[in-house]
Every structure is written in C-alpha cells, then in structure tokens.
Chains A and B, each alone.
Chain A
C-alpha cells in the first residue's frame, strides 16, 4: 500500500508541484483553447495569456504571504525544480 501512496505522491509532486492552481489553470487554459478553436475564433492567444496571468498571480500570492525578505541575491545551489 505504501508503495502505491509513494507512487501517487511522486506523480503528484512531479506534475502538480507546490502550487496546484498552476496545474489547474493550465488544464482550464488548454480546454479553453480547444473550445475557442471549435468556435472558429483565433485560439492561439488564450494559452499564453492564461499562463502569464497565472504565473504572476502565483508569485504575487507568495509575495503577499511573505513577511521577511530572506535574500536579495540571484545565485543559488541546485535543488529540485
């Protein structure tokens, strides 16, 4: 059982990661692109727009919950993603 839990957790962490709203936003954006295409409208702007807005909102949510700036440097060592 624990192996199944680990397996599911691995794929959840791998695909969804820290912020599940990004994954949900991408799925909604891809579906919206397909719908807009089927309506006969230019569908290519949908995905870039949703991705940019979603990325900004996700980072801004961290900024708003962030109280103490930890480091203003730009280099770092490797770690996951």
Chain B
C-alpha cells in the first residue's frame, strides 16, 4: 500500500469510527447534559490511553468479535428502549404532559442533588471506548502491515481534530431539535449499530460489509415511522368509534 493510500485509509477509517463516537456523545450531551457526556469521554480516553500504553501491539490480538457481540447486544437492547419510548410518544400512546412533569422533577432533582448522571456517563464512555479501541486496532493493523504505525497514527490524529471541529460546529443547531425527534433519531442509530455489531459478533457476514449500516438505518427508520403511523391511525379509529 502506497504511503498516501495508507494515510487516506487510516484517516477515513478513523474518521468513520470517530463520527460514530461523536454521534453518541452529541446525543448524550444534548439529551442528558454535557457534564455526563464530557466525563464519559474523559474516562474513556484515560482508559484507552492506559490500555494502549500497557498492551501496545497486543491490541491486535483482542477478540474484537467478542467485543462487538457484547457491546452490540447491549447497545441494541438500549437503543430499542429509546426507540420504543420515542415511538410510543410520537404515536400518542405515552403521555407527553406527564413526561413534562417528569422532566421538571428530574431537572429539579439534578439541580438539588450532587449526584452524577450515570446513564449519560456510561453511554458516552461506552461509545468513545469501543470506537477508540477500534481506531487503535485500525491504526496498529493498517500501520503494522505497512511497517508505518506512525503515519497511521498521524492520520487518525488529524481525523480526530477534524471530527471534533465538526462536532463543535453542529452541537448548537442540534440542541434546537425537538426532544422526542432527537430521541427517535438516537434510538434508530443505536438500534442500527447494535444490530450490525451484534450480528457481526455472532458470526454473520453482512452482504454489503460496512455499507450495510446505511441500509439498516434506512430500514429501521422506515419501519419505526410505519409503526407510528399505524398506531396513530389505530388511536384515531378508537376516538371516532366513541
């Protein structure tokens, strides 16, 4: 592989993984608060630094499929929870006004309790840790096969800077998106990534490789909107029947 190709491959692969991590961190930051998201990122980076420093080359021998199986399954269960609740709210099956009250209570509790949002922290940590581990894996495998780990690491570092700059630019517009719409989107993404990783970890081969994630996103999105439409129509029929 030519030097330019190695750089481009490492940059793109790292950027894709980092965008996935950024998506999760942005979602946590906007929906759960930036403190939990930032602390999750920080602890994940410290853990990654420690693992890479201690294990070095041994990272290539980590059972990435087992990691994908476990993290993908947890992510899928978690994403389905979000998606299910978002569908119920969008359908009118879950009380939005009650949610307002819960929201006020939660904010009030958060403001008066010196506790930490472990939900936000854990999701943020998990996203950054898994993606970071994959980036480290990519850098070592791409760079190792070409005896140029330094160049692959440089490409990943530049990808990190690019992705962080984009994240800083888009986080404000993202915070103006209605809450349930955002949760709908996050639920779709977590569910799609969860399906992809869990299936890969269980041994399945996706027909289109990594591009299958895009197909999964489209399918999960379409079906979710379809379920909302069905539930709304069902509720209208019930109202008219009275």
Q: Decide if B83 touches A77 in the complex (CB within 8 Å).
A: no
B174 at the interface (CB under 8 A from A): no
A5 at the interface (CB under 8 A from B): no
Q: Which of B31, B69, B119, B212 contacts A30 (CB 8 A)?
A: B69
* Given A37-B204, A71-B92, A14:B195 Cβ within 8 A: no
In the complex, what's the smallest C-beta–C-beta distance from B229 to chain A, in angstroms?
12
In the complex, what's the smallest C-beta–C-beta distance from A40 to chain B, in angstroms?
11
| Alpha-carbon separation in the docked complex, A72 to B92 (Å) | 5
Closest residue of chain A to B102 (Cβ to Cβ) is: A79
| Alpha-carbon separation in the docked complex, A63 to B99 (Å) | 18
Q: Decide if A76 touches B96 in the complex (CB within 8 Å).
A: yes
A4 at the interface (CB under 8 A from B): no
* Given A52-B223, A71-B92, A47:B97 Cβ within 8 A: no
Q: Decide if A63 touches B93 in the complex (CB within 8 Å).
A: yes
Question: When each residue 106-123 of chain B gets 1 if its CB lies under 8 Å from chain A and 0 otherwise, what string results?
Answer: 100000000000110010
In the complex, what's the smallest C-beta–C-beta distance from B176 to chain A, in angstroms?
12
Q: Decide if A58 touches B180 in the complex (CB within 8 Å).
A: no
Q: Decide if B191 touches A71 in the complex (CB within 8 Å).
A: no
Closest residue of chain A to B239 (Cβ to Cβ) is: A69
| Alpha-carbon separation in the docked complex, A66 to B205 (Å) | 40
| Residues of A with C-beta under 8 A to B122 | 14
Q: Decide if A63 touches B81 in the complex (CB within 8 Å).
A: no
Q: Decide if B91 touches A76 in the complex (CB within 8 Å).
A: no
Closest residue of chain B to A10 (Cβ to Cβ) is: B118
| Alpha-carbon separation in the docked complex, A74 to B96 (Å) | 8
* Given A18-B85, A30-B73, A56:B227 Cβ within 8 A: yes
- A residues contacting B by CB (< 8 A) are 10, 14-19, 22-23, 26-27, 30-31, 33-34, 36-38, 42-44, 46-48, 51-52, 54-56, 58-60, 62-63, 66, 69-81
